Structure 1
């Protein structure tokens, strides 16, 4: 089976019998005068079953091509100027689906370097990584071939691309893990957005204390991961983790400092801001409870469960042992500016109130 160009058509033939044909464009280029762009899937499947030796000279091809071994590889290009051909696969990353605790820019830079080390030519096909504004980033991986079936060669590129991808994700995740703490929560689905938003506000809470940290979350079918990556992690990580547990306790204490006359302006602003976050969280929980009651008239069993969830939703949703607050982590009374909280007493109060 081979391909030939005749009368502005690309023909695929077996023993001189045409089995498929498609119109091509004439570009006027001396080296690549023929262009095939976005052919239908049946034609590209036939074309990719050809040996590169049986592809006509001067042909340039751009087409969707979904790899079966790497779901992110979904585009192929081929140019044949002489006896060899340049064959490439493009790897597509949707920014809206990027849920790793490191930036896609950091990943893409390392990805292209490691692909280059394997002998591929790789480039970002989306413009500058530093100022992208599209919904996708495309990394093109290219190699020169002189023989071989196109689909098999594309599979080899995709397999290498997948292997490098997985290795870099693991490498960067381990690097991040050394300087972060990660907590897993299993929020009830109807409360997931509310609780996640409250936890993200922990970043503002730290900022008000003069601590810089990146807070990110990942939601999937297994629950919610909260990732806290502070600057100066070596010295601050353990203290920030203690603050995190304290922050989760705030909605369950009876009051924040009521006497603000003795506080400085900055302390009052800090307290007001913190109180606002806590009250918003409580209000959203109450509104969600009302919506659930109105939406489902058969909710009598769930109503009883909600009484407990209202009180301990953040703490009980944490997948680690709740005794972290009562023994595993030895934290006594802590002070943040004007606020003093004893988490052990809070937890005992919560437990006694639910008996």
Structure 2
């Protein structure tokens, strides 16, 4: 609870502010200021622990004298957001949260500019206005501030923490789409794909991606690859060594490669006289499957022992299976699927519509499908 108290009858003095009954007016990690004439004040909380305390306050309990509360909370998927402004209008029962961006211009090392990031966020957030979200640039000069504005018209008994948690999945989706767009535009000579792997299977999935270069070589495409992590997102870059190999062919091959764990899961085949390259591919798929099965078993064990996390664990269990590579792929589109090669194969979210694979002739089959043969 936040409470503002004037000292006796002298209303011209700056009032005191209390958080959960404790006077924090002179606290070193608090700034409390405003106008004694309008009786409108602002509260800035710099300390992260105090910010967590404030975030547990229900929005209906925000004093009407407080125009703005600013808390310092770091969100894993919003790297450059350090502060969140909260304001509440009792008359309209509306809360506004501003997720403020602060950039380190001197040490900026991304392959895209801050202006490009802001432009991309503005374009993507336009699609989310019906959900109360908007990109705001406070004036013509980008350095003067930008933020994601969120208008909340829900239950006034919701805490600030609950409101942030409620919109977090949408914000995460927006940021992931922005990264997918920005990184895909950083090179005309590379295919860059973004993945949001669950932490417990990230290593196994990244190991499987590394083998993709060998898969390309086996179908006659020479390429190099690199993997880096950005804000919890895996960025997988593939660059052909020859200009004769089109990125669309590599993209189509990647689509097939990502679906192999699903397509081969229930396939039956005789391993006698298989090409060694096919044996290697099967071994890599089986290694990934075993790692996913192990992770699923660990989640199941957690399910038994941690009852209060039942819903979260169930969702994780459903997610960690052979479709993980496709589920984790981040699209820079707002659709669920992007068709390529005239719709021959499609990528992004797994829809349950796998294709049959001729495993003994997998490489010849792939070359034919992507137009390499």
As a proportion of its length, which structure holds more helix? 1
TM-score by length of 1: 0.42
Rg larger in 1 or in 2?
1
TM-score by length of 2: 0.40
